[in-house]
């Protein structure tokens, strides 16, 4: 099975991706948070920094584009192909109101005819101008209702889409409630496109359950679960971790995970300090990450609070160090 790191706006930018790739194995591909090219304008300088080859050296990355305008998608894809990317991913999942109001992200799913015309145009144009460039799709299963999904799937199936990543929720679910597995079963049965499952995988057993139920899957994409547990894909991929039972998950295993978690944390902190102006911004980023990391340290409530309250990097570092050294068993 292949494991992809999900795109997460505000979290999985290039500093995060490179640090993760340096510290943990098992991720086949990292998808960038969406790039939303302005009408006719191309990428912003922040977006360009995220995809420039010199900022992504050695890390397998697929850029994701969010737009409902054919010409903007085509222009963005040509730019990305020019930087050497072999795949561009179309975002049909973003639930944010400001995005969907413009008919983008999951908002595009509400107008299947328009989506069909969009795909027709971009596939015919790009197959001529960028032959070999793969176009994949990351989608929800509908805007309002999962009953929209069969028609959407039929549309996707008509095009040479290189991969279909399905997050089985509708827009109105945002990220809450249980994934709608019935709709995913339909995708598993009907998709002619290599299929990737995405949603609520937080542990080895969550992933194994999906793999057992859907043996034909080409990949699993993990977002929040892999931010909280950055070694999750390595655990899934690497037999060395898998063979261990609870009793075997000894002190040594936990110490190795802790050492690599500390390295990952320090690379993130240094990386953000290098590219972000001012401690306030860096602290904001790190605190956001601790909303995810914190789940491993339930007994370090006081130190976690010190992280949240820290106003200066030195204060933050001291609090983070004491949490990271606390006695929790990281292996699960
Ligand atoms: C903070 C946040 C930012 C996200 N940003 C993006 C994004 O830029 N592009 C995208 O396709 N999905 C985005 N997602 C959705 C995730 O890629 C993923 O589909 C979702 O979190 C469900 O997977 P998970 O349960 O493994 O996290 C975002 C999700 C969150 C929570």
Question: Mean pLDDT by 10-residue block, N- to C-terminus, for the chain (332 residues)?
Answer: 98 98 97 93 94 98 98 97 98 98 98 98 98 98 98 98 98 97 98 98 95 98 96 89 63 84 97 96 97 90 95 96 81 63
Ligand 1 surroundings by CB, under 6 angstroms: 6-11, 33-34, 64, 91, 93-94, 138, 167, 175, 198-201, 222-225
Distance from Cα 194 to the centre of ligand 1, integer Å: 20
pLDDT of residue 305: 96
- Residues 177, 308 within the same domain: no
Same domain, 179 and 314: no
Would you state the pLDDT for residue 112?
98
Task: Say if 258 falls within a structural domain.
Answer: yes
Looking at residue 200, what DSSP letter applies?
-
179 φ/ψ angles, rounded to the nearest 5 degrees: -60, 145
What pLDDT, on the 0 to 100 scale, is given for residue 251? 74
> For 322-325, which contacts have Cβ atoms below 8 Å and span 24 or more sequence positions?
323/297, 324/258, 324/261, 324/262, 324/265, 325/258
What's the domain range around 194?
Answer: 2-242
Number of structural domains the chain divides into: 2
- Of 116, 59, 76, 125, nearest to 92 (Cα)? 116
Element (H, E) at 126: helix 112-129
Q: Out of 209, 242, 275, pick the residue that ends a domain.
A: 242
**Residue 184: inside a domain:** yes
Q: Name the nearest CA neighbour of 9 among 269, 288, 275.
A: 288
Q: Coil, strand or helix: which one is 131?
A: coil
206 shares its domain with 259: no
Residue 173: the pLDDT is 98
Pocket perturbation via mutation, ligand 1, pick of 175, 177, 178, 201 by most ligand atoms within 8 A of CB = 175
Mark whether 220 and 311 lie in a shared domain.
no
| Calpha distance 19→93 (Å, rounded) | 26
Separation CA 218–CA 226 (nearest Å): 19
Write the residue with the smallest CA distance to atom 21 of ligand 1: 223
The kind and range of the H/E element at 130 are none
Whole-prediction pTM value? 0.96
The pLDDT of residue 257: 87
Q: Do 150 and 45 belong to one domain?
A: yes
Q: Whose CA is nearest to atom 15 of ligand 1?
A: 8
Residue 330 is assigned to a structural domain of this protein: no
Q: Do residue 231 and residue 282 come from a single domain? A: no
Which residue has its alpha carbon closest to ligand 1 atom 6? 8
Of the three residues 198, 213, 242, the one that is the final residue of a domain is 242
3-state helix, strand, coil in the chain (%, to 5): 55, 10, 35
Task: Report the nearest atom of ligand 1 relative to the CA of 200.
Answer: 25
Clarify whether residues 284 and 220 are in a common domain.
Answer: no
Domain boundary among 242, 259, 294: 242
Tokens of residue 309, six digits: 């309250």
**Burial class (CB within 10 angstroms; exposed 0-12, middle 13-18, buried 19+) of 251:** exposed
Determine the distance separating the centroid of ligand 1 and the alpha carbon of 247, expressed in angstroms.
34
**pLDDT value at position 250?**
67
Q: What angle do CA 174, 180, 182 make, to 5 degrees?
A: 155
């Amino acid at each position: 099975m292949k494991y992809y790191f999900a795109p997460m706006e505000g979290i999985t930018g290039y500093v995060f991706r490179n640090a993760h790739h340096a510290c943990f194995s098992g991720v086949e591909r990292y998808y960038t948070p969406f790039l939303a090219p302005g009408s006719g304008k191309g990428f912003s300088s922040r977006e360009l920094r995220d995809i420039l080859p010199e900022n992504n050296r050695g890390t397998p990355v697929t850029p994701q584009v969010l737009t409902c305008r054919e010409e903007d998608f085509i222009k963005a894809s040509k730019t990305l192909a020019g930087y050497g990317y072999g795949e561009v991913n179309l975002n049909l999942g973003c639930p944010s109101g400001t995005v969907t109001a413009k008919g983008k992200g999951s908002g595009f799913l509400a107008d299947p005819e328009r989506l069909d015309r969009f795909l027709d145009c971009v596939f015919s144009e790009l197959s001529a101008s960028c032959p070999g460039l793969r176009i994949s799709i990351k989608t929800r299963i509908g805007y309002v209702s999962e009953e929209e999904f069969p028609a959407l799937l039929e549309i996707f199936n008509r095009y040479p889409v290189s991969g279909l990543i399905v997050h089985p929720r509708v827009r109105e679910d945002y990220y809450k409630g249980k994934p709608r597995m019935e709709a995913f079963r339909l995708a598993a049965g009907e998709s002619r496109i290599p299929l990737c499952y995405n949603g609520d995988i937080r542990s080895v057993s969550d992933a194994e359950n999906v793999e057992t139920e859907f043996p034909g899957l080409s990949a699993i994409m993990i977002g929040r679960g892999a931010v909280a547990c950055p070694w999750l894909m390595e655990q899934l991929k690497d037999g060395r971790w898998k063979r261990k039972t609870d009793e075997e998950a000894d002190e040594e295993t936990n110490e190795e995970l802790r050492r690599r978690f500390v390295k990952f944390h320090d690379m993130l902190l240094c990386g953000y300090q290098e590219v972000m102006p001012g401690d306030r911004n860096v602290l904001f980023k790190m605190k956001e990450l601790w909303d995810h990391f914190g789940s491993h340290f339930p007994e370090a409530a006081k130190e976690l609070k010190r992280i949240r309250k820290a106003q200066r990097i030195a204060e933050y570092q001291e609090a983070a160090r004491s949490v990271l050294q606390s006695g929790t068993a990281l292996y699960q």
